[in-house]
Structure formats: structure tokens, C-alpha cells
Structure 1
């Protein structure tokens, strides 16, 4: 089925959300990089998400599930098929005692603020992590030690067949930057977090300290996908890249940040190919010098 017919098909079924044709992915990633998606669907609720997935399955249409694109690098040729984007339309947050029940499109920073407003401690580490709660669960996001797995009790997901399933913390198979979501290409729709009662001023002070640490050490003023590489066992990717002499290395408008070597940043009009070239140079140099294979943390999708 060609993209125009796919577009028409989804317009017949998606009423609360939006359907976009040839949508530039650079508008939907923090990297500000990426060619067009044939069709992008912005579902209005959980029912429309399941409907969109089933339409793709029934018509053998390739599809990709994305949040707000914080750790995404889309290729310059873009994405063939359908992108189902879950963000603002699924952002309800409820606080029940020491529990927070939030939809997957909620920004992690907003969920953390809700915890602060109710004097709940345990989520401070996530206050400065960009992206949605769903994306944070998918990759078991963490910072300065704690990870999402430390506070999650239940996760509701939609599987590849469009069925809603619920998993406990143990069933999520959390590990470093990994979860069951990645294993089975699930889509997170709602998360239950268990926090503890704390002191508002102490929680706010800690969050402010972490914010200060991020803003002074990370290149937040430039587009990127966050940490480009996963942390190798017993070391840090940023340290290895720095010692290898790659700080500030530039190819086109892609650059190994001269502020934090763990980030590859977009200086203006960087292409996916430029970023991928830098990733390969960094990987080869670090492997040659230290015998360590750096694994990308950034998710790369699209036609190559």
C-alpha cells in the first residue's frame, strides 16, 4: 500500500488525534535531525493507539512507536511506513497517597514536579531527564545512581497485536538501559510508581542540586540525543572518549561535545550520516586504544 492510501486509511479511523503525511522527523527529535515519515499518527487516546497498531498489523504496514524523541536518531532518508507518536494526548497524572499513576506521554520532568508538589521522595534523579515517562521505562532511564526500576511497581503496555497487558516490576526484566519493552517492542501506556513521603524543602534542594550539575556539565544548549553511548562495565564512555583525544572532534555539523564527551551534538544543520560517521570513528578509536566496544545508547531508526 502506498503512503497516500495509508494516510487515507488512517484518516478514516483516527478522529480524536491527528494523521500527518510526509512529516519531517527533525521536528520530532531532540537531535533536530531526520527525514520524513511517510505517515505519522498522533493518537488521541489509548483506544486510538490500539486501533492504529491493529490497522498496521491487518494491512502489513511497517510501524514505529516513538515518544518525544529524546534518544532518537532518524536517518536522512526518513521512515517508510507509519510512526505512531505517543506524547501530549496521553499525559494524565494522578497522585494517590505515596503512589503516582501517570500516562506514558507525561514528561518525566512534570511527573517529578508532581512528586515534589506532594512531598514524595524517590524520583528526584529523574527531574532533569528529558523525555516521556514511557521512554524512560522502555530504556530504564537513570541518573546519578538510581534508575526507573527502583520506583516502578506496575506498567501497562500494548503489545504488537494491539492487546493491553500489565506487568509487575519483576516481569519488566529491567537491567541497565534495558527492559521488556525493548525485548518485545511493547508500547507503554501507563505506569504506577511507588514513592515515599519526604520533606518538600529537602526534595527541592536535591532536585536543584542535580539541575545545577546537569546544566554546568552537559551541553544542554545544543540539540543532541543525550548520552550517545552506554556506560561500559567498570568505566565511563565520556572518560574513554576524552582520553582518546576525541573531545571536540567535528564532522560537518556533528561534533563530539567539547563540554561533555559523552554527547554528540548538532551544531546547526547536522545530518544523520554525519552523526553516524562520528559514532563509528569514536567506536573504532576507543576499541583500538583500549580494547573496549562502545555500544550506542541512542536509538537509530529509518531507511539507510
Structure 2
């Protein structure tokens, strides 16, 4: 289908969504990097998501799911087809020991909501910038806790556009991966099972973790967070630091001088700059220590057209 025809169909079928054409994705990522999306869609209800999934499948149009862009690197050529941005789905509510958060809500906000309700278990997430959906997608974790510790179940849309509730066990959550990634599922809601706690103790723990994050991480620059997975028996940041790579720079992308596990956008970096730094870091660490660093950040999109 021609782009204008796709645009007309989307506007006809989606009554509760904002649709943008040829939109630069750098305005929606934490790295401030990313080329144009053919169509960027902001659904406000689950029915519109199902409509988009069906439309993409029936017309063989690529479909990409995007949260708040905290752990993603989008290439400079952008993304073809449809991009679903779920950040409008951000409701969070509680029922006893349970918190239900929509996929577009920030996991930080879910953690703060738990504090308001004096529920413990989500303190580890108080500094994770990703969305709830993204946190499930990669089983996000920090400071000894991870999503799989507290997730009870999730509401998802499967490959056929069907909505169903699945248990945490069915999502196969393990270190920075899940069946959400493997099967291309779309998270609509997460249901967390927490425990009653002391509000002051919960706040003290969150304050402590926030201090650690702010003191150690280069939050003053745009970045995608930790670039690499933790290799068995090692810490990625320590390997990069010991390889003498802090301050290594290509264009506007630089290995952080504050925390070697981060690559920061210090001056209008492109995805090409970022990828060049990633490749150099991987080669150097392999040469120095014989360790292969795997990327944790999700790298998507296309190279620019010639």
C-alpha cells in the first residue's frame, strides 16, 4: 500500500489514537537519537492496538512496539512501517497487595505508587527509567531485584491480536529476556504482587538507591542506560574501564568517564557514532580479556538510504 493510502486507512479505523507521519524518533528516545518512522501511532485504548495489529498483519506492514525509548538505539534511517508508542497507556491502580500498571507507565512511577500505598517489593525499580512494558520485555532489574521477583501476571496481545491474561511463569522471565521478546507479544498491563511494608523504611531504601544511581551514573547526558549485558563472572563496566576506554569517542558518542558501562550522547551523536563506539568497545574487551560483550540495549531500525 502507498503511504498516503495507509495514512487514510489508519485515520479511518483509529478513533482514539494520534497518528504522526514521517516523525523523527529522536524526540522519543533517551539517547536523543533516531531517524524517522513512517507512521508513529499513540493508541489510547486496547481496541486500537488490536486494530493496528490486525491491519499490519493483513497488509504485511512491519510493526514495531515502542515504550518510552529508554533502552533502545534507533538507527539513523528510522523505522519502516508502523510504530506503536504506548506511552498514553499509563494508568496505575492498586487492590490490596496488588498493583496494576499499564504498559506505558514508567516503572519508576509504579515504584513511587507502591510507596504511597506502603507496599514493598518494587523499591529496586525506583531508578529504572523504562516503561512497565519495557521492564517486562527485558525483565529489568537493579540493585539485586528484578521484575520476575514481583510480577504475578500480565495482560498481553499475542501474535494473532488476541488479548489474554498470562502468568509470570508463562512469560519465561530470565536475565534481560522473556517470551515477550521471543514471540513478539505486546504488554498491555502488569500485575505486581507486593507485600505490606513500613512506608518510612520503603522511602529510606528508595532514597538510598536513588543516591547510588545519581552518584554513579552519568545522568547529565542523554544515554540508553547500561549498553551491555553482564557477562558471567564479570562486570561489563569494569572490563571496559580496565581496557582504558573511558572517554573513547566517535563523533558525539562517548564511553562515559563517570561509568564505563554507559555510552553517552555528548554532542548531537548519531546512531552510527553510537554503533561505532559499541563495536570498538566489544573488540577491545575481547582483545584484552577474551570476553564477548553482548548488547543489552535493543538496536532497531534501518541505515540511511543512499
Fold equivalence (TM over 0.5):
yes
C-alpha RMSD of the superposition = 0.8
State the alpha-carbon separation in 1 of the partners of residues 166 and 13 from structure 2: 29
Q: Find the aligned partners of 1:82 and 1:54 in 2 and give their Cα distance.
A: 12
Aligned residue for 1:65? 65
1:172-219 Cα offsets, whole Å, 9 max, x none, are 101100111001011100111000000000000000000000001000
Q: 1:46, CA displacement in angstroms?
A: 0.7
User: Are the equivalent residues in 2 in contact too, given 1:3–1:81 (CA < 8 A)?
Assistant: no
CA separation in 2, counterparts of 1:103 and 1:59?
28
Aligned counterpart, 2:29: 29
Quote the Cα distance in structure 2 between the aligned partners of 1:165 and 1:274: 41
Superposition deviation, residue 155 in structure 1: 0.9
Provide the aligned length of Structure 1 versus Structure 2: 303
Q: Partner residue of 1:182?
A: 181
1:2 deviates by 2.6
Aligned counterparts, 1:225-244, within 5 A: 225-244=224-243
Q: Does residue 1:100 correspond to 2:99, yes or no?
A: yes
Gaps of 5+ in 2: none
SS in 1 for 2:164: strand
Matches within 5 A, 1:102-121: 102-121=101-120
Report how far residue 160 of structure 1 moved.
Answer: 2.1
Q: CA deviation at 1:109?
A: 1.2
Separation (CA, whole Å) in 1 of partners of 2:179 and 2:144: 21
* TM-score, length-scaled by structure 1: 0.98
* Counterpart secondary structure, 2:279: helix
Moved beyond 4 Å, runs of 4+: none
* TM-score normalised per structure 2: 0.98
Are the counterparts in 2 of residues 23 and 40 from structure 1 also a CA contact under 8 Å?
Answer: yes
Find the aligned partners of 2:110 and 2:166 in 1 and give their Cα distance: 20
Q: In the TM superposition, what is the alpha-carbon distance from 1:165 to its structure 2 partner? A: 2.2
- After TM superposition, give the deviation of residue 29 of structure 1 in Å: 0.6
Q: Give yes or no for contact 1:247–1:257 (8 Å, CA) kept in 2.
A: yes
